[in-house]
Amino acid sequence: MAEYAHPEVLVDVEWVLEHRKEVDRIRIVESDEDVLLYDMGHIPEAVKVDWQTDLQHPVIRDYIDKEAFARLCEERGISDDTTVVFYGDKNNWWACYAFWAFKMYRHADCRIMNGGRQKWLNQNLPVEKAVPQYPRGRYRPRDRDLSIRAFRDQVLEHLERGGKLIDVRTKGEYTGELLHMPDYPQEGALRGGHIPGALHIPWQVAIRDDGTFKSREELEEIYIGQHGLSPDDDIIVYCRIGERSSLTWFVLTYLLGFKRVRNYDGSWTEWGNLVGVPIEKGEASS
Amino acid sequence: MCDLQSRIEELEEEFQLLDPRERLELLLDYAARLPELPEEFRDAADRELHRVPECQTPVFLWLTFDDGAVLHAEVAPEAPTVQGFVSLLRELIAGCSPEQVAQIPQDLLHRVGLVEALGMVRSRGLHAILHRVRAMAGQQQSAAAKSQS
């Protein structure tokens, strides 16, 4: 079976089981949708990084600045050269989101535990409620790498150039039906639909039933075979707030070796509220 | 009859004394107290109507008023924050009338400082739960008014 393009970034549960006590060079990080899930029990050596209360700026709609990120790492005993292994709930959505954010802050060695929290729990492996304490790390703040992040103006330019877009949300969100449900005004966007021309490739096509990633052959068949994408394509992925699309970003970039994939973290909660931008409703036009 | 107003004030006081991290810990205590969904609701034919669709995790709510309000809930175990908030609402409205429940302040999450502790995006799902509980109480109210007229 062909290896993934960057096989080192994906570790399995057994690898974590074997290396989890090497806390002076490895830090396991849990990142979940629910901010309290870690507190219910986590891999004993794991620390928590919350996508919202830790990584997002408390006032501006953006991520924290590089100094705050360095502090966040140091408090968790993460230094510049620490191997950081992410895992989480929901098939690793938030683990991939945190991985993407750490890459944006140019952390060198990031990995994902294949199968996430569920796979660990399913095997009845040890969990712990106590929060482990580690000696403070030493972290040098670095300017963000924006080559993996797309802003709305870049999405517009990309659209005008005919660049490829992938919408990874559910069918209802993609077609715009979901905002039409009566009595539920709180979807966070004033308009429904998708960015014109965006391919609809839901995030879960990359995942097996047990939450692990499909093989390279299977993934190539889907993204390259069925949807006609090529590893040299300039691609922007998006969803509702950028979490599910970071999973697809991870798959394309690290498992398939695509060279230029950006995550549009503003995603539909920004696009669906922008004045004057083009929107397409219904099924894909092509 | 319950004194919802003073219960809300007590709740505000309880949460506002804490920093955001401690508020989440308190929410975890509430989560631990949420009882299981009674059997009679588990296989209800209209189960899907009781889902709160704005929540990304499955949440099902029933509100009965046999002897004052009782909120019954099924919340996915991987959503302790949602369990905690539902449990908080359950304790808050226990024994109240439909009129009272329909009047729970819409900004409850702000008042107890949970928006600050959870962030805006996560709070949206909890707002939806509050909205749903108020709406269910409102339906009871209008149904009762109809049967009287």
Cβ burial, residue B84 (10 Å; 0-12/13-18/19+): buried
Residue of A56, A77, A117, A112 whose CA lies nearest to A269: A56
Same domain, A259 and A166: yes
Tell me the backbone φ, ψ of residue A45, rounded to 5 degrees: -85, -5
Chain A contact for B131, CB < 8 A?
yes
Asked whether residue A111 falls in the same domain as residue A19, the answer is yes
CATH number for position A71: 3.40.250.10
The boundaries of the domain holding residue A156 are 148-271
CATH code: domain of residue B121: 3.90.1010.10
Which residues on chain B are in Cβ contact (under 8 Å) with A32?
78
Angle A136-A141-A143 from CA coordinates, rounded to 5°? 155
Average pLDDT score over residue span A98-105: 98
A-B contacts (CB, under 8 Å):
54
Q: Which residues contact B65 (CB under 8 A, 6 or more apart)?
A: B97, B98, B140
pLDDT average, residue stretch B116-136:
89
**For residues B96-115, average pLDDT:** 94
Burial of B107 (0-12, 13-18, 19+ CB in 10 A): exposed
Residue A183's pLDDT is: 43
| A121, closest residue in chain B (CA to CA) | B78
- Chain A contact set for B54 (CB, 8 A): 184, 186-187
Q: Which of A144, A163, A182 is the last residue of a domain?
A: A144
Chain A residue with the nearest C-alpha to that of B31: A36
Q: Is A96 a catalytic residue?
A: no
Q: Of the candidates B25, B80, B124, which has its C-beta nearest A34's C-beta?
A: B80
- Using pLDDT thresholds of 50, 70 and 90, give the confidence band for residue A24: very high
The pLDDT tens digits of the residues spanning B38-72 come to 999 988 888 888 998 877 788 999 999 999 999 99
Chain A residues with CB under 8 Å of a chain B CB are 32-37, 39-40, 52-53, 56, 89, 181, 183-184, 186-188, 241
Q: Provide Rg for chain A, Cα atoms.
A: 19
Tell me how close the Cα of B1 comes to any Cα of chain A, in angstroms: 31
Look up residue A51 and give its two tokens.
Answer: 């996508």
Q: Which of B40, B104, B26, B97 lies closest to B74, judged by CA?
A: B40
Number of structural domains chain B divides into: 1
Provide the domain count of chain A.
Answer: 2
Q: Are residues A45 and A126 in the same domain?
A: yes
SS3 B110: helix
Give tens-digit pLDDT for A37-65. Answer: 999 999 999 999 998 889 999 889 999 99
The residue-averaged pLDDT of A219-238 equals: 98
DSSP-assigned states of every residue in A180-224: GSTT---SS-SS-SB-TT-EE--GGGGB-TTSPBPPHHHHHIIII
What domain range is B50 assigned to? 4-148
